[in-house]
Amino acid sequence: MGVVGRRVVRYQSAGAGVEAEAFPRATPRWHARYLGATPEDDAARGRLRADPVLAPALAAHEGLRILRQEPWETTAAFLVSANNNVLRIEGILRALARRGDALGSPWGERHAFPDAATVARLPESRLRALGLGYRAPFLRATARLVASGDVDLDSLVGAPLPEVREALLALPGVGPKVADCIALFALEAGGAFPVDRWVLRAVSEAFFAGREVKPREAEAFARARWGDDAGLAQQFLFHAVRTRANAPGARRLSATQNDHQGQERVARSAPSWTRSSP
């Protein structure tokens, strides 16, 4: 159970699908869009299944989806996440959410995430007290830009990726990785390919025979191989390599070998690194 915009939602497994409820009520199309389960999303997954390296990961992690999240809340969340751990991020976001409007529902009261104007009015000292530390001035300055209308995040939804990146990188505290995360998870920029050490590891071991790969090289490779589906491919790469790393007896990834021109020779058998167990 959680909050999406100004709706309280409750999702739970129901056989092979998901039982979805919202207050105020939402249409099946609204739920499908938020959950990344539209026909367009399914088409993207179909294209990735044609990739012999990714196909086992899609089969192993069938429920993995990219949610279409609210732009301002997502931007704030990723500013909070910089050099932070999951527990602290969750705590800070819960504390911020308590500054938002109370929302009633049949399942109890929840709070909407505060809008940019509300966050912009909070003193920096208050934001620091919530645990933001050095991130406090970045969040406050970005909130002011959004609240004033100088930055219109909603207008970036579906815009070309270069335009989205340029606008996001102009925000205080937003670097390339955070910009790509916001673009992918809130602005429908499917070609965005956020790169961290786990994604670099997956790309290196699955496509470059373990050779060290730089972030820009990994991103260029992903865009060339998957185009506007690169962001979805990133999610399967990330989840597969993390699952593999945490499995008992984890081994080094070894899905493919390739030459320096990036022409991969895919292993004949299903790539073991994409399986959820050894």
The catalytic residues are 177
For residue 278, the SS3 value is coil
Distance of CA 212 to the CA centre of its chain: 24
Residues 6+ apart with CB under 8 A from 123: none
Q: Among residues 193, 168, 163, 154, which one has the least CA distance to residue 70?
A: 154
Residues 6+ apart with CB under 8 A from 263: none
DSSP 8-state assignment for residue 251: -
Token pair in block for residue 144: 């002011």
33, 68 in Cβ contact below 8 A?
Answer: yes
Positive or negative CA dihedral for 152, 157, 160, 161? positive
257, 206 in Cβ contact below 8 A?
Answer: no
- How many angstroms separate the CA atoms of 210 and 277, rounded? 21
Q: Among residues 187, 273, 202, 260, which one has the least CA distance to residue 233?
A: 202
Token pair in block for residue 12: 């739970």
Plot region of 66 (φ>0 → left; ψ -120 to 50 → alpha; else → beta)? beta
